[in-house]
Amino acid sequence: MNFSEGMDNIKASKVSLEKQFNCRPLRGHCVYFIGIGGIGMSAVARILIHEGCVVAGSDVRTSSLTSTLEEMGAKINTKQDGSLMPAETDMVVVSASISEDNPDLKTARKMGIKVVKYSQILGSLMQEKRGIAISGTHGKTTTSAMISTVLKAAGLDPTFVIGGEVPGIGGNAHLGKGNLFVAEACEYDRSFLNLTPQVGVITNIEEDHLDYYENIEKIINAFGDFASSISRDGLLVVNNHDDNISVAVKRAHCKVETYSLDVSSDWCGEIISGGSGINRFKVFKKNTFFGEFLLKIPGAHNVLNALAATAVCTFIGVDRDSIKAALASFTGANRRFQIIGVRNGITVIDDYAHHPTEIRVTLTAARELYPEKRIWCVFQPHQYSRTRHLLKGFTKSFQHADRVILADIYAARDNDYERTVMNSVKLYEETRNAGVDVQYIPQLTDIVHVLSSSVKPGDVVVTMGAGDVWKVAYDFVSGF
């Protein structure tokens, strides 16, 4: 880099910092969240409440997240029609799913209220601490949860914002007294570029969010920008067996450490056993034995997540035994291979998987854990555009399921064109043609009835999707 380029980068960084601190609400300020029920939005809302801000917001759906916020003092409405925004609102925060024609947002614009994106306010919060940002197409939530669990157990009291509820550490967000800030860094809308972390993780890079990026090259470029955002004195931890990462990581200016399940990486995991839902594995750091670890969650992909967490926490200064103990106590995040109930010999599991790769690795883990049992997969596609773009991948992702039930697509950010050209019937036909035993049952309530009359003792039911398919798991269990 020449001197001129370096000065341009410094100027750009200063502008970025000014923008971030401009959107930093102060104690006593009223902040209104449009889409407050989102996992990330609700997490930031919790932190601002703890910091003394007055929080209000709207969402079209109620949930346990909105209920928790209301218990903490937030005023939340489900109208989202622009009529209930407090006159004293100082700032409005919008999630990436909110469009400009949203009535609440139009009201905020009309009132002249400052509007910021969720990722901008997250960036401003991180700027005040030592940031750790976990990115990747898959595995962000679990890896973020593992890192937060280790740091909390080590007494470092980190602030964290995680894209899932983690019961073992009190939920999806925490305002810590320590100087560390752990955040799940989403690539959609290039949101993660609003963060300025000292430590970063890239778990993998695949095609996703093609409604925004259009192609894999643009996705890789965005991750390259993320890699270049890690401070020079920091660390970037990356999966060593991902060709797309190998391109993006060339843009990094900091130290880079790799991880994988073979000796070619800086951090290597060797799985000893993975039965009964428990992973036992050896860890090697630069070909030197580091320790024998245990995880109480299944799947080789979670061993990889643990390797990334170990690399990050070691860099932060946590000792090996503390990392081992914390990971051994880690029980996972909600909706990540979460066992909802086991009754009458039937096991019901719920998972957030909504991408072909996530479905495949989750069903692989289920098959390894239950090799002799019949596995049912209830899948609710998320987004018409994602289903269209990744259609062929979805049809090949159910191979470890014995029976598959497809629900109607859960819409999110979809325009009329996407709703016209794609539907679950097309996914059903393609999946059936791939040799999968599949049914199409549009409504979730009808799926529960079918399961109740068809599932036998000894079967395993896995509900999957980023929408509200989790209701099937709970309703089915409650009807046992």
Phi, psi dihedral angles at 470 (to 5 degrees): -55, -25
Block residue for tokens 């993320």: 226
Phi, psi dihedral angles at 293 (to 5 degrees): -115, 160
Q: What is the rounded distance in angstroms from the CA atom of residue 226 to the CA atom of residue 67?
A: 34
| Neighbour tally for 479: CB within 10 Å | 11
Q: Which one of the listed residues 66, 107, 137, 141 is annotated catalytic?
A: 141
C-alpha angle with apex 81: 78 to 86, nearest 5 degrees? 80
Tokens of 236: 């970037």
Helices assigned H by DSSP within 55-187: 64-71, 103-111, 118-127, 140-153
Helix (H) or strand (E) holding 13: helix 3-22
140 is catalytic: yes
184 is catalytic: yes
Block residue for tokens 């929080």: 55
Q: Which one of the listed residues 66, 137, 149, 184 is annotated catalytic?
A: 184
Write the DSSP symbol of residue 410. B
| Neighbour tally for 425: CB within 10 Å | 12
Find the distance separating the first CA and the last CA of the chain, reported in whole Å.
65
Q: Which one of the listed residues 140, 152, 285, 324 is annotated catalytic?
A: 140
| Neighbour tally for 40: CB within 10 Å | 22
285 is catalytic: no
| Neighbour tally for 260: CB within 10 Å | 18
Tokens of 158: 């980190």
Q: How far is CA 277 from the centre of its chain?
A: 22
Tokens of 440: 């199409």
Write the DSSP symbol of residue 177. S
Active-site positions read 140-141, 184
